[in-house]
């Protein structure tokens, strides 16, 4: 009983701290909204990636302001930013750097690539071949890069936000499963509705539309907020709910779901970790010191959609990973 009381007191204290420390993130949203119209979900997911130290994969057809969204976020944070345009002729060295020979003293020196920054916009990542996509793996997971046998640690925060066109488009390569699993969230960006389209027309139909975005927070504030995210309370019932959701993607029959023939691979333990972290970040943005099942449910689709691989049978039945994840979310009882 005493432990329960101490936990409740700590959660209350944490909620008060979060209310104060979440203010910079509200300011970021305000600044980004000076440019973007109707992309509230995308902005929210980018903030979750920042808070939970996880990378984002943003998918949508060209022209939906995916690149603008990431660039605007970078401007609102006083930190390093690099935009990398992925093309079919890109080489791994163009990304991480290489060793350069200096004839004057007959030595090799390391020339660091653009990956050495804080926020990385990997634009149209699926237009580059697999060897370039693989060059990102070590940087994304280990937060380090190896060049010529020497290992360099990347700056903190380090966040990759990659945009991709739908795979059916001309000149695109499908990302390997090992690569997509490195992304905490996969966010699908859709067309704006009619009212939003009208506001875009009114705001953007100029030959040189310029927007003044102020830097309203710093890397130090983000790292400080992450410490609070780590402390956010997750009840055992919510933990079990997270585990059940992920386990249902691997062993659907154990949960009374007839999906076994439709799922090739389910979510890995990384999915469990990422779903918990993203739910904690969602609670932080809602100024709460504890995670609710609603936090988990809100973010689950973006965490799981790229981790559930469907079989040929599923494709024959026009079933997608999204429809399977939706069925699991609707079936597993919320605590």
- Tell me the pLDDT of the chain averaged across its residues: 88
Q: Is residue 212 a part of any domain in this protein?
A: no
pLDDT digits (tens, 9 = 90+) for 4-46: 777 788 888 888 889 888 888 999 999 888 888 888 888 999 9
Q: Which of 221, 250, 273 is the last residue of a domain?
A: 221
pLDDT at 247 over 90: yes
In a domain, 151, yes or no: yes
**Are 77 and 159 contained in the same domain?**
yes
Write the pLDDT tens digit of every residue in 120-148.
Answer: 888 888 888 778 877 787 788 888 888 88
The model's pLDDT over 67-93, given as tens digits with 9 standing for 90+, comes to 788 888 888 888 888 888 888 888 888
Structural domain contains residue 90? yes
Same domain, 251 and 177: no
pLDDT of residue 176: 76
Pair 246, 150 in one domain: no
The enclosing domain of 266 has a CATH number of 1.10.8.80
Rounded to whole angstroms, the Cα distance separating 64 from 205 reads 15
How many domains does the chain divide into? 2
Q: How far apart are CA 180 and CA 168, in angstroms?
A: 17
Same structural domain, 15 and 155: yes
Check which CATH number belongs to the domain holding 170 and give it. Answer: 3.40.50.300
Q: Are residues 152 and 65 in the same domain?
A: yes
Residue 34 lies in a domain: yes
How far is it, in rounded angstroms, from Cα 77 to Cα 75?
A: 5
**Residues 18 and 137 reside in one and the same domain:** yes
Same domain as 157, residue 263: no
In a domain, 226, yes or no: no
* Whether residue 284 sits in one domain with residue 179: no
Q: What Rg, from alpha-carbon coordinates, does the chain have?
A: 21
Query: Of 180, 195, 221, which residue is a domain's last?
Result: 221
In a domain, 258, yes or no: yes
64 versus 217: which is more confidently predicted? Answer: 217
Question: In terms of domains, do 194 and 239 share one?
Answer: no
Domain coverage including residue 282? 232-331
d(CA 332, CA 233): 22
Most confident of the following: 112-116, 196-200, 290-294:
290-294
Q: Does 188 share its domain with 250? A: no
The answer to whether 277 touches 232, Cβ cutoff 8 Å, is no
Question: Is residue 227 assigned to a domain?
Answer: no
Domain boundary among 174, 196, 221: 221
Note whether 162 and 28 are same-domain residues: yes
Say if 182 falls within a structural domain: yes
Nearest by Cα to 172 from 56, 305, 60: 60
Q: Are residues 138 and 173 in the same domain?
A: yes
Give the number of residues written for the chain. 335
């Amino acid at each position: 009983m005493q432990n329960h009381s101490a936990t409740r007191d700590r959660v209350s204290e944490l909620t008060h701290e979060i209310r104060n420390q979440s203010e910079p993130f509200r300011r970021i949203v305000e600044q980004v909204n000076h440019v973007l119209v109707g992309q509230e979900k995308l902005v929210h997911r980018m903030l979750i990636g920042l808070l939970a130290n996880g990378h984002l994969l943003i998918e949508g057809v060209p022209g939906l302001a995916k690149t603008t969204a990431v660039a605007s976020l970078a401007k609102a944070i006083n930190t390093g930013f690099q935009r990398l345009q992925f093309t079919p002729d890109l080489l791994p060295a163009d990304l991480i750097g290489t060793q350069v020979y200096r004839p004057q003293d007959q030595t090799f020196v390391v020339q660091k690539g653009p990956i050495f920054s804080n926020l990385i916009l990997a634009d149209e990542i699926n237009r580059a071949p697999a060897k370039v996509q693989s060059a990102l793996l070590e940087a994304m997971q280990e937060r380090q890069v190896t060049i010529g046998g020497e290992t360099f640690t990347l700056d903190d925060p380090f966040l990759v936000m990659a945009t991709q066109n739908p795979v059916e488009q001309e000149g695109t390569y499908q990302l390997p499963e090992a690569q997509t699993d490195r992304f905490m969230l996969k966010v699908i960006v859709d067309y704006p509705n009619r009212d939003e389209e009208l506001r875009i027309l009114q705001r953007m139909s100029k030959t040189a539309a310029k927007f003044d975005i102020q830097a309203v927070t710093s890397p130090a504030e983000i790292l400080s907020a992450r410490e609070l995210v780590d402390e956010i309370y997750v009840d055992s019932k919510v933990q079990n709910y997270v585990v059940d959701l992920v386990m249902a993607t691997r062993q659907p029959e154990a949960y009374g779901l007839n999906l076994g023939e439709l799922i090739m691979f389910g979510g890995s333990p990384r999915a469990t970790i990422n779903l918990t972290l993203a739910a904690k970040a969602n609670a932080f943005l809602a100024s709460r010191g504890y995670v609710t099942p609603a936090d988990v449910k809100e973010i689950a689709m973006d965490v799981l959609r790229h981790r559930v691989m469907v079989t040929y049978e599923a494709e024959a039945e026009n079933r997608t990973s999204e429809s399977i994840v939706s069925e699991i979310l609707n079936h597993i009882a919320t605590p």
